[in-house]
Structure 1
Amino acid sequence: MTGPRFTDLVNALPATVPFVGPETAERARGAPFTARLGANENGFGPSPKAIAAMNAANAEQWKYGDAQSHDLRAAIAERLGITPAHLVVGEGIDGLLGYLVRLLVAPGDAVVTSEGAYPTFNYHVAGFGGTLHKVPYKDDHEDPAALIAKARESGAKLIYLANPDNPMGTWHEAAVIERMVNEVPEGTLLILDEAYIEFAPDGTAPQIAADDPRVIRMRTFSKGYALAGARVGYAIGAPTLITAFDKVRNHFGMNRAAQIGALAAFNDRAHLARIRAACTTARARITQIARDNGLNAMPSATNFVAVDCGGDGDFARSVLAEIIAQGVFIRMPFCAPQDRCIRVSLGPEAELDAFAAALPRALKAASAKI
């Protein structure tokens, strides 16, 4: 009796999980966290109107969700001044990245990203047999010029860039991204991940025609709209590319209540403004906590702050472990030299109080191990 016959590609892949979730960490430590500040979630919560809309929709969860996400796409298109044909809705940016890689990457195809950038994208590329070519960050920012040069050198089908960036929270102004788009090599597609665009300063979002075949922009309801668990994201691109998603996407992958909740959240612009204000306050608080402990916080255009621990990656990992041991869930960048930092999500005051209490103890314990 034999088991399933996996493909050669699957047999060659490690069993990899890009992120270990807080629930997994809680089970491993045998206790819940007192502060959940590690997953770039929006701890200030979604619009009450979105919660009410999802609660009302639950009675009809016997229905499949609208396979076209018509109402949500129509609302987004109207706000952005484009047509629904320029939009595809999917299971968060993660799901859309998987579909896009499946559309464009065959075994051996070159793909360009930054060393230490969003690992889920790399996970999808590996899953379809693509070859990753990486460039280093420059001054804690992704490096558009280096990404373009590597794409030209490798003949890449895809370039991945997040603006604002995860895991560092840094960002480029719109003009930098617009210049990058104009330098994309023929036959290459730029993926512009704008998951954190709702938190970014004015002048961050570039002016790019939705019909431009050189770029696809990805946005989400997980961050600014605080609906990470609902798994709703969307991509903006030329209609020919958007239509191609219908060849591979899970047409009933979108939860019906999530679609309805996302629409209500999108229409509640006052709540988004309150979230932005709360995040500004929390960002300043984390910066002050870092300063109080002799550390530097990175300027951030996201819903998290990277804090430089003042040593190397091993020291930061020790600080991280000590903070987690105190019941505060945070994360850190994976690759040097960015791994000298820990990364703290913005959150309510009580959770930041827990981080403020844990950090000095963690620094003391980590320093004692040196």
Structure 2
Amino acid sequence: MGTRLPLTSVVRNLPEMVPFVGPETFERRQGRALRVRLGANESVFGISPVAAEAMSAAAAKAWMYNDPEAYDLTEALAQAHGVPQTHVQVGAGIDELLGLLVRVFADVGEPVVMSDGSYPTFAYHVVGHGARLVGVDYQNGHVDLAAMADRARTEQARLVYMANPDNPMGSWCAARQIEHFVDAVGEDCIVILDEAYADFAPTEAIVPVLPLRPNLVRTRTFSKAHGMAGARVGYLLADPSIVEILGRVRNQFGVNRIAQAGALASLSDAGFVHRVVESVTVGRQQLSALAERLGLSCLPSATNFVNIDVGDGERARQILQQLLERDIFVRMPSKPPGDRCIRVTIGHAEDHEILIDALAEILNGLPG
């Protein structure tokens, strides 16, 4: 049918945008495998052996539909956070949950506020549902909570998004600042607090779960410290009224049987997650030291990635392209101050060495 497809008015007016071009796409384009894969903030440290065993056992029962309520996993998450099960909703990664929240709280044409340049998949959901994206500039690489609150009130927004720690900046806000922000936007505005990187953050960055705030929705993931990015498991903590309404619109079989089994087992292996966090901390220090050897610095980070400051945006783009030509996959943020950086996921020591050697070679060939 081509251009005569009976599209909705929202879809007809969508810009051409892809939230995430995967490393596999680059491999297909170049016709060869990547040497170093440090651009998607995956965990190179893998998954818990306990989770791997549970997933293998669950695979034998893949002929059965999964539990649409993910009851066992939801109950375990509720116990882990000290809340009733009615406050927890599981989804196929944070991305699915973000899409549902936009669908529920942002009508066509309505404003949704976020930091300009923050997690692009959320922006993708907002635009895809026909809502109006309102971006607020970062302030020195940090989420500008005061400006976000002012803009939310001015726009009378019903939905605001922030990530803490932030992606792609790596910076973080103190819990007390976030609590003040949630109060400042008003009880009629839902605040999505994306805590995908919470396992790597300092204690003072994490808002206490209790007391629960009725307009705060917190999202967490098994993709980072748990190493289960390919399994697609995330969850949120929210008021029961929000969880109930999401239950009406969610994909009833969204989190598959194998993923549920793996997440439940990984949740029980706190020692593994602790070791991953320690490895990431060491890796951040190592990568920063290697960057300093080249006269470069890294922006402060409380995540499993660092932003290496290379001076300016054009230079960063050239470096990014030349690294890809050398089969090294990293990324760069789109907004200041991150747009003068290359964003590198923490990997193994040998990954870092390959990256830094290539970066040194590239820098020697660039003017200035």
Q: TM-score range by the shorter chain?
A: over 0.9
Report if the CA contact (8 A) 1:90-1:233 is conserved: yes
Worse overlay, 356-365 or 147-156? 356-365
Q: For residues 315 and 212 of structure 2, what CA distance do their matches in structure 1 show?
A: 47
Q: Give 1:238-253 correspondences, 5 Å limit.
A: 238-253=239-254
Q: Which amino acid aligns with 1:263?
A: L
Letter paired with 2:27: E
- CA displacement at 1:364 relative to structure 2: 2.2
Contact 2:330 2:344 in 1 (8 A): yes
Cα distance in 2 for residues equivalent to 1:16 and 1:210: 39
Give percent identity, aligned residues only: 45
Equivalent residue letter for 1:203? E
Alignment size in residue pairs = 367
1:336-368 per-residue CA deviation (whole Å, 9 max, x = no partner) reads 342001100011122112112111112223x23
The Cα of 1:104 is off from its aligned counterpart by: 1.0
Residues in 1 aligned to 2:298 and 2:337: alpha-carbon distance in whole angstroms: 15
1:317 corresponds in structure 2 to 317
1:211, CA displacement in angstroms? Answer: 3.7
Q: Shift of residue 26 of structure 1?
A: 1.0
The RMSD of aligned alpha carbons is 1.3
Cross-structure match for 2:231: 230
Q: Deviations over 1:242-296 (max 9, x none)?
A: 1001111001111100000001111100101110111111111110111111111
Secondary structure at 2:203 match in 1 = coil
Contact 1:42-1:226 at 8 Å conserved across structures = yes
User: Where do residues 288-299 of structure 1 align in structure 2 (5 Å cutoff)?
Assistant: 288-299=289-300
Unpaired segments ≥5 residues, structure 2: none
Please state how far the C-alpha of 1:224 moved relative to its aligned partner.
0.9
Structure-2 separation of matches of 1:90 and 1:237:
13
In the TM superposition, what are the counterparts of 1:152-301 in structure 2 within 5 Å? 152-209=153-210, 211-301=212-302
CA contact (8 A) 1:232 1:262 kept: yes
The answer for the alignment partner of 1:135 in structure 2 is 136
Inter-CA distance 54–208: structure 2 relative to 1 (3 Å threshold): closer
Q: Aligned partners of 2:281 and 2:290: how far apart in 1?
A: 14
Say whether the 8 Å CA contact 2:37–2:328 is kept in structure 1: yes
Paired position in structure 1 for 2:23 = 22
Q: What is the identity, as a one-letter code, of the residue corresponding to 1:116?
A: G
Structure 1 residue 186, shift from structure 2 partner: 3.6
CA contact (8 A) 1:82 1:210 kept: no
The Cα shift of 1:209 comes to 3.4
Match of 1:85 in 2: 86
1:51-100 Cα distance to aligned partner (Å, 9 max, x none): 11101110000111111111111111111110110000001010000011
User: Contact 1:211/1:239 (CA < 8 Å) preserved in 2?
Assistant: no
**Superposition map of 1:100-115 within 5 A:** 100-115=101-116
Secondary structure of the residue that 1:65 maps to in structure 2?
coil
The whole-number CA distance in structure 1 between the counterparts of 2:146 and 2:201 is 22
Q: Which residue is equivalent to 2:328?
A: 328
AA aligned opposite 1:244: I
How many Å separate the matches in 2 of 1:132 and 1:208? 28
Query: How far apart are the structure 1 equivalents of 2:346 and 2:65?
Result: 35
Q: Is the 8 A contact 2:141 2:336 kept in 1?
A: no
CA drift at 1:208: 4.4
| TM-score (norm. length: structure 2) | 0.97
Amino acid at match of 2:272: H
CA deviations over 1:313-340 (Å, ceiling 9, x no partner): 1111111111111111100101234200
For residues 9 and 182 of structure 2, the distance between their equivalents in structure 1, rounded to whole angstroms, comes to 36
The equivalent residue for 2:345 is 345
Alpha-carbon separation, structure 1, partners of 2:16 and 2:62: 33
- 1:287-311 Cα shifts (integer Å, max 9, x gaps): 011111111101111000011112x
8 Å Cα contact 1:99-1:245 kept in structure 2: yes
> Which piece of structure 1 moves more, 262-271 or 206-215?
206-215
What letter matches 2:294 in structure 1?
Answer: N
- The answer (yes or no) to whether the contact 2:48–2:269 under 8 Å persists in 1 is yes
Q: Which amino acid aligns with 1:183?
A: A
Question: Structure 1 residue 19: deviation in Å?
Answer: 1.1
Q: Secondary structure at the match of 1:203?
A: helix
Please give the alpha-carbon distance, in whole angstroms, between the structure 2 residues aligned to 1:342 and 1:36. 14
Residue 185 of structure 2 aligns to a residue whose secondary structure is: coil
1:118 is aligned to 119
The alignment partner of 2:308 has SS state of: strand
- Structure 1 residue 214, shift from structure 2 partner: 1.5
In structure 1, stretches of 5+ residues that fail to align are none
Cα displacement (A) at 1:204: 1.4
Deviations 1:98-145 (A, max 9, x none): 011011111111110111101111111111111111110001011111
Mapped to 2, the partners of 1:183 and 1:37 lie a distance apart of 37
